[in-house]
Amino acid sequence: MNVLKLVRPINLLFIVLVQAFVKYGLFNPLGAETTLNTIDFSLLVIATVCIAAAGNIINDIYDVEIDRINKPNKVLIGKNISEKKANRWYIALNVIGVGIGFYLSNNIGKSNFAALFIVISALLYLYASYLKGILLAGNFLISLLVGMSILIVGLFDLLPAINAQNQTSQFTVFKILLDYALFAFLLNFIREIVKDIQDINGDKNGGMNSLPIAIGRKRATTVVFVLGVFTILTVILYSYTYLYHTQIVALYFLFLIVAPLLYFCVKAWSAEQRKDYALLSKLLKLIMFLGMCSILLYPLVNK
Protein backbone atom coordinates (compact mmCIF):
# COMPACT_ATOMS: atom_id res chain seq x y z
CA MET A 1 0.00 0.00 0.00
CA ASN A 2 2.84 2.42 0.85
CA VAL A 3 4.53 1.70 -2.48
CA LEU A 4 1.22 2.38 -4.22
CA LYS A 5 1.03 5.80 -2.57
CA LEU A 6 4.63 6.45 -3.55
CA VAL A 7 4.00 6.03 -7.28
CA ARG A 8 0.96 8.39 -7.27
CA PRO A 9 -1.71 6.04 -8.69
CA ILE A 10 -4.12 8.84 -9.67
CA ASN A 11 -1.48 10.41 -11.94
CA LEU A 12 -0.70 7.00 -13.44
CA LEU A 13 -4.40 6.36 -14.05
CA PHE A 14 -4.55 9.69 -15.85
CA ILE A 15 -1.78 8.50 -18.22
CA VAL A 16 -3.66 5.24 -18.87
CA LEU A 17 -6.94 7.04 -19.62
CA VAL A 18 -5.37 9.61 -21.92
CA GLN A 19 -3.48 7.01 -23.92
CA ALA A 20 -6.69 4.96 -24.22
CA PHE A 21 -8.57 8.09 -25.35
CA VAL A 22 -5.97 8.64 -28.05
CA LYS A 23 -6.02 5.06 -29.32
CA TYR A 24 -9.73 4.29 -29.12
CA GLY A 25 -11.30 7.74 -29.10
CA LEU A 26 -9.19 9.44 -31.77
CA PHE A 27 -7.25 7.04 -33.99
CA ASN A 28 -9.94 4.39 -34.43
CA PRO A 29 -12.94 6.71 -35.05
CA LEU A 30 -10.94 8.83 -37.52
CA GLY A 31 -10.00 5.69 -39.46
CA ALA A 32 -6.26 6.14 -39.02
CA GLU A 33 -3.97 3.29 -40.03
CA THR A 34 -2.48 1.89 -36.83
CA THR A 35 0.27 -0.56 -35.93
CA LEU A 36 -0.49 -1.70 -32.39
CA ASN A 37 -3.00 -4.42 -31.65
CA THR A 38 -4.69 -4.52 -28.24
CA ILE A 39 -1.88 -6.51 -26.61
CA ASP A 40 0.90 -4.30 -28.01
CA PHE A 41 -0.98 -1.16 -27.02
CA SER A 42 -1.43 -2.52 -23.50
CA LEU A 43 2.31 -3.15 -23.35
CA LEU A 44 2.98 0.46 -24.41
CA VAL A 45 0.71 1.71 -21.63
CA ILE A 46 2.40 -0.57 -19.06
CA ALA A 47 5.88 0.56 -20.16
CA THR A 48 4.87 4.24 -19.93
CA VAL A 49 3.26 3.78 -16.52
CA CYS A 50 6.24 1.83 -15.13
CA ILE A 51 8.75 4.50 -16.16
CA ALA A 52 6.47 7.29 -14.87
CA ALA A 53 6.05 5.44 -11.55
CA ALA A 54 9.83 5.01 -11.28
CA GLY A 55 10.21 8.74 -11.92
CA ASN A 56 7.80 9.51 -9.07
CA ILE A 57 9.80 7.29 -6.72
CA ILE A 58 13.22 8.76 -7.52
CA ASN A 59 11.74 12.24 -7.20
CA ASP A 60 10.49 11.47 -3.70
CA ILE A 61 13.83 9.91 -2.74
CA TYR A 62 15.67 13.14 -3.61
CA ASP A 63 12.94 15.35 -2.09
CA VAL A 64 12.74 13.81 1.39
CA GLU A 65 14.24 16.80 3.22
CA ILE A 66 12.26 19.35 1.21
CA ASP A 67 9.00 17.41 1.65
CA ARG A 68 9.49 17.34 5.42
CA ILE A 69 8.97 21.11 5.29
CA ASN A 70 6.44 21.43 2.45
CA LYS A 71 4.23 18.42 3.22
CA PRO A 72 5.38 16.67 6.42
CA ASN A 73 2.26 14.51 6.68
CA LYS A 74 2.79 13.03 3.22
CA VAL A 75 6.43 11.96 3.54
CA LEU A 76 6.65 8.19 3.02
CA ILE A 77 10.35 7.47 2.50
CA GLY A 78 12.14 6.98 5.81
CA LYS A 79 8.82 6.64 7.65
CA ASN A 80 6.53 4.12 5.95
CA ILE A 81 9.01 2.74 3.45
CA SER A 82 12.81 2.59 3.61
CA GLU A 83 14.98 4.38 1.08
CA LYS A 84 16.61 1.05 0.19
CA LYS A 85 13.25 -0.53 -0.63
CA ALA A 86 12.19 2.55 -2.60
CA ASN A 87 15.39 2.32 -4.66
CA ARG A 88 14.68 -1.34 -5.39
CA TRP A 89 11.23 -0.48 -6.68
CA TYR A 90 12.72 2.34 -8.73
CA ILE A 91 15.19 -0.02 -10.42
CA ALA A 92 12.59 -2.78 -10.91
CA LEU A 93 10.02 -0.48 -12.52
CA ASN A 94 12.62 1.02 -14.86
CA VAL A 95 13.84 -2.44 -15.89
CA ILE A 96 10.26 -3.53 -16.63
CA GLY A 97 9.45 -0.33 -18.54
CA VAL A 98 12.63 -0.29 -20.61
CA GLY A 99 12.45 -4.06 -21.18
CA ILE A 100 8.90 -3.84 -22.51
CA GLY A 101 9.96 -0.86 -24.62
CA PHE A 102 12.73 -2.92 -26.24
CA TYR A 103 10.35 -5.80 -26.95
CA LEU A 104 7.65 -3.52 -28.35
CA SER A 105 10.05 -1.53 -30.54
CA ASN A 106 11.40 -4.69 -32.12
CA ASN A 107 7.91 -6.13 -32.47
CA ILE A 108 6.78 -3.21 -34.66
CA GLY A 109 10.02 -3.17 -36.65
CA LYS A 110 11.31 0.09 -35.14
CA SER A 111 14.13 -1.10 -32.88
CA ASN A 112 15.59 2.41 -32.62
CA PHE A 113 12.42 3.54 -30.82
CA ALA A 114 13.66 1.60 -27.77
CA ALA A 115 16.05 4.46 -27.09
CA LEU A 116 13.03 6.63 -26.19
CA PHE A 117 12.36 4.63 -23.04
CA ILE A 118 16.00 4.78 -21.95
CA VAL A 119 16.20 8.53 -22.60
CA ILE A 120 12.93 9.26 -20.77
CA SER A 121 14.03 7.18 -17.78
CA ALA A 122 17.41 8.96 -17.70
CA LEU A 123 15.78 12.38 -17.99
CA LEU A 124 13.44 11.64 -15.06
CA TYR A 125 16.49 10.74 -12.95
CA LEU A 126 18.30 13.88 -14.12
CA TYR A 127 15.24 15.95 -13.25
CA ALA A 128 15.02 14.58 -9.73
CA SER A 129 18.75 14.71 -8.99
CA TYR A 130 19.81 17.94 -10.66
CA LEU A 131 17.60 19.83 -13.11
CA LYS A 132 14.80 20.49 -10.63
CA GLY A 133 17.07 22.93 -8.84
CA ILE A 134 17.85 24.98 -11.99
CA LEU A 135 15.64 27.94 -12.84
CA LEU A 136 12.74 26.74 -15.07
CA ALA A 137 14.83 23.84 -16.48
CA GLY A 138 13.06 21.23 -14.37
CA ASN A 139 9.65 22.79 -15.05
CA PHE A 140 10.28 22.68 -18.78
CA LEU A 141 11.61 19.12 -18.79
CA ILE A 142 8.86 17.52 -16.73
CA SER A 143 6.22 19.32 -18.81
CA LEU A 144 7.90 18.10 -21.99
CA LEU A 145 7.74 14.53 -20.69
CA VAL A 146 4.05 14.94 -19.84
CA GLY A 147 3.45 15.93 -23.46
CA MET A 148 5.58 13.00 -24.60
CA SER A 149 3.38 10.55 -22.68
CA ILE A 150 0.62 11.55 -25.13
CA LEU A 151 2.77 11.84 -28.23
CA ILE A 152 4.38 8.42 -27.74
CA VAL A 153 1.11 6.72 -28.72
CA GLY A 154 1.34 8.39 -32.13
CA LEU A 155 5.01 7.53 -32.51
CA PHE A 156 4.35 3.82 -31.94
CA ASP A 157 0.87 3.49 -33.43
CA LEU A 158 0.65 5.98 -36.32
CA LEU A 159 4.13 6.58 -37.71
CA PRO A 160 5.06 2.95 -38.46
CA ALA A 161 1.85 2.61 -40.51
CA ILE A 162 2.56 5.58 -42.79
CA ASN A 163 2.88 4.86 -46.51
CA ALA A 164 2.64 6.85 -49.73
CA GLN A 165 -1.14 6.39 -49.93
CA ASN A 166 -2.11 7.44 -46.38
CA GLN A 167 0.64 9.95 -45.62
CA THR A 168 -1.61 13.02 -45.67
CA SER A 169 -4.37 11.54 -43.50
CA GLN A 170 -1.88 10.04 -41.03
CA PHE A 171 -0.11 13.35 -40.52
CA THR A 172 -3.46 15.11 -40.12
CA VAL A 173 -4.33 12.83 -37.20
CA PHE A 174 -0.79 13.15 -35.80
CA LYS A 175 -1.11 16.95 -35.86
CA ILE A 176 -4.26 16.72 -33.73
CA LEU A 177 -2.30 14.58 -31.28
CA LEU A 178 0.54 17.12 -31.30
CA ASP A 179 -1.94 19.90 -30.47
CA TYR A 180 -3.11 17.99 -27.42
CA ALA A 181 0.47 17.25 -26.37
CA LEU A 182 1.26 20.99 -26.56
CA PHE A 183 -1.85 21.79 -24.53
CA ALA A 184 -0.75 19.31 -21.84
CA PHE A 185 2.78 20.75 -21.92
CA LEU A 186 1.56 24.31 -21.42
CA LEU A 187 -0.87 23.51 -18.60
CA ASN A 188 1.66 21.36 -16.79
CA PHE A 189 4.33 24.05 -17.15
CA ILE A 190 2.01 26.55 -15.46
CA ARG A 191 1.16 24.00 -12.78
CA GLU A 192 4.85 23.36 -12.08
CA ILE A 193 5.34 27.07 -11.41
CA VAL A 194 2.25 27.13 -9.17
CA LYS A 195 3.64 24.17 -7.20
CA ASP A 196 6.99 25.97 -6.88
CA ILE A 197 5.21 29.00 -5.39
CA GLN A 198 3.29 26.72 -3.04
CA ASP A 199 6.50 24.95 -1.94
CA ILE A 200 8.77 28.01 -1.81
CA ASN A 201 9.74 27.57 1.86
CA GLY A 202 10.96 23.99 1.53
CA ASP A 203 12.65 24.72 -1.79
CA LYS A 204 14.64 27.57 -0.24
CA ASN A 205 15.92 25.26 2.47
CA GLY A 206 16.73 22.63 -0.15
CA GLY A 207 18.90 25.01 -2.16
CA MET A 208 16.55 25.14 -5.15
CA ASN A 209 16.44 28.07 -7.57
CA SER A 210 12.82 28.01 -8.66
CA LEU A 211 11.11 30.95 -10.36
CA PRO A 212 9.41 32.29 -7.16
CA ILE A 213 12.75 32.10 -5.32
CA ALA A 214 14.53 33.94 -8.16
CA ILE A 215 12.00 36.73 -8.75
CA GLY A 216 9.72 36.59 -5.70
CA ARG A 217 6.34 35.02 -5.00
CA LYS A 218 4.32 38.01 -6.27
CA ARG A 219 6.12 38.30 -9.62
CA ALA A 220 5.94 34.54 -10.12
CA THR A 221 2.19 34.71 -9.50
CA THR A 222 1.97 37.40 -12.18
CA VAL A 223 3.80 35.08 -14.58
CA VAL A 224 1.24 32.36 -13.79
CA PHE A 225 -1.60 34.82 -14.49
CA VAL A 226 -0.07 35.91 -17.81
CA LEU A 227 0.50 32.29 -18.89
CA GLY A 228 -3.10 31.52 -17.94
CA VAL A 229 -4.38 34.37 -20.13
CA PHE A 230 -2.11 33.20 -22.97
CA THR A 231 -3.57 29.69 -22.66
CA ILE A 232 -7.11 31.05 -22.81
CA LEU A 233 -6.33 33.03 -25.97
CA THR A 234 -4.66 29.98 -27.51
CA VAL A 235 -7.67 27.73 -26.79
CA ILE A 236 -10.10 30.34 -28.14
CA LEU A 237 -8.03 30.74 -31.31
CA TYR A 238 -7.84 26.97 -31.74
CA SER A 239 -11.60 26.62 -31.21
CA TYR A 240 -12.36 29.39 -33.71
CA THR A 241 -9.98 27.94 -36.31
CA TYR A 242 -10.91 24.25 -36.10
CA LEU A 243 -14.10 23.78 -34.10
CA TYR A 244 -16.46 26.69 -34.72
CA HIS A 245 -18.62 24.72 -37.18
CA THR A 246 -19.18 21.85 -34.71
CA GLN A 247 -21.43 23.34 -32.05
CA ILE A 248 -21.26 20.63 -29.39
CA VAL A 249 -17.45 20.54 -29.47
CA ALA A 250 -17.16 24.34 -29.50
CA LEU A 251 -19.50 24.57 -26.50
CA TYR A 252 -17.50 21.91 -24.67
CA PHE A 253 -14.32 23.94 -25.14
CA LEU A 254 -16.07 27.14 -24.11
CA PHE A 255 -17.73 25.91 -20.92
CA LEU A 256 -15.40 23.13 -19.76
CA ILE A 257 -11.99 24.50 -20.75
CA VAL A 258 -12.13 28.26 -21.35
CA ALA A 259 -14.51 29.01 -18.43
CA PRO A 260 -12.42 27.07 -15.85
CA LEU A 261 -9.29 28.75 -17.22
CA LEU A 262 -10.93 32.15 -16.70
CA TYR A 263 -11.77 31.16 -13.13
CA PHE A 264 -8.18 30.01 -12.68
CA CYS A 265 -6.88 33.41 -13.84
CA VAL A 266 -9.23 35.24 -11.46
CA LYS A 267 -8.06 33.12 -8.53
CA ALA A 268 -4.40 33.45 -9.60
CA TRP A 269 -4.66 37.26 -9.63
CA SER A 270 -5.66 37.33 -5.96
CA ALA A 271 -3.64 34.31 -4.73
CA GLU A 272 -1.50 34.97 -1.67
CA GLN A 273 -1.62 32.05 0.76
CA ARG A 274 -0.40 28.47 0.35
CA LYS A 275 -3.97 27.15 0.23
CA ASP A 276 -4.69 29.49 -2.71
CA TYR A 277 -1.89 27.91 -4.74
CA ALA A 278 -3.01 24.43 -3.73
CA LEU A 279 -6.42 25.27 -5.23
CA LEU A 280 -4.79 26.61 -8.41
CA SER A 281 -2.80 23.40 -8.78
CA LYS A 282 -5.95 21.28 -8.44
CA LEU A 283 -7.79 23.50 -10.91
CA LEU A 284 -5.08 23.02 -13.53
CA LYS A 285 -5.15 19.26 -13.05
CA LEU A 286 -8.94 19.29 -13.56
CA ILE A 287 -8.67 21.52 -16.65
CA MET A 288 -6.04 19.24 -18.13
CA PHE A 289 -8.28 16.22 -17.58
CA LEU A 290 -11.27 17.97 -19.14
CA GLY A 291 -9.08 19.00 -22.06
CA MET A 292 -7.94 15.42 -22.62
CA CYS A 293 -11.56 14.19 -22.42
CA SER A 294 -12.36 16.43 -25.39
CA ILE A 295 -10.37 13.95 -27.51
CA LEU A 296 -13.45 11.75 -27.40
CA LEU A 297 -15.48 14.48 -29.12
CA TYR A 298 -12.96 15.26 -31.83
CA PRO A 299 -14.29 12.70 -34.36
CA LEU A 300 -17.47 14.82 -34.49
CA VAL A 301 -15.42 17.64 -36.00
CA ASN A 302 -14.69 15.61 -39.13
CA LYS A 303 -18.28 14.49 -39.74
Encode the chain (303 residues) as per-residue pLDDT tens digits.
677 888 999 999 999 999 999 999 999 999 999 999 999 999 999 999 999 999 999 999 998 888 888 887 777 887 888 989 999 999 999 999 999 999 999 999 999 999 999 999 999 999 999 999 899 999 999 999 999 999 999 999 999 999 989 999 999 999 999 999 999 999 999 999 999 999 998 888 878 899 999 999 999 999 999 999 999 999 999 998 888 788 898 899 999 999 999 999 999 999 999 999 999 999 999 999 999 999 999 878 765
Alpha-carbon gap, residue 138 to 121, rounded angstroms: 14
Amino acid at 234: T
The dihedral formed by the CA atoms of 203, 226, 247 and 249, expressed in degrees to the nearest 10: -20
* φ, ψ dihedrals at 77, nearest 5°: -70, 130
- DSSP code, position 178: H
Predicted local distance difference test score (pLDDT) of residue 77:
87
Domain residue ranges in the chain: 2-302
Predicted local distance difference test score (pLDDT) of residue 69:
82
- Residue 75's region, left for phi above 0, alpha for psi from -120 to 50, else beta, is beta
Predicted local distance difference test score (pLDDT) of residue 136:
94
Predicted TM-score of the model (pTM): 0.95
Is the distance from CB of 146 to CB of 185 less than 8 angstroms? yes
Burial class (CB in 10 A: 0-12, 13-18, 19+), 217: middle
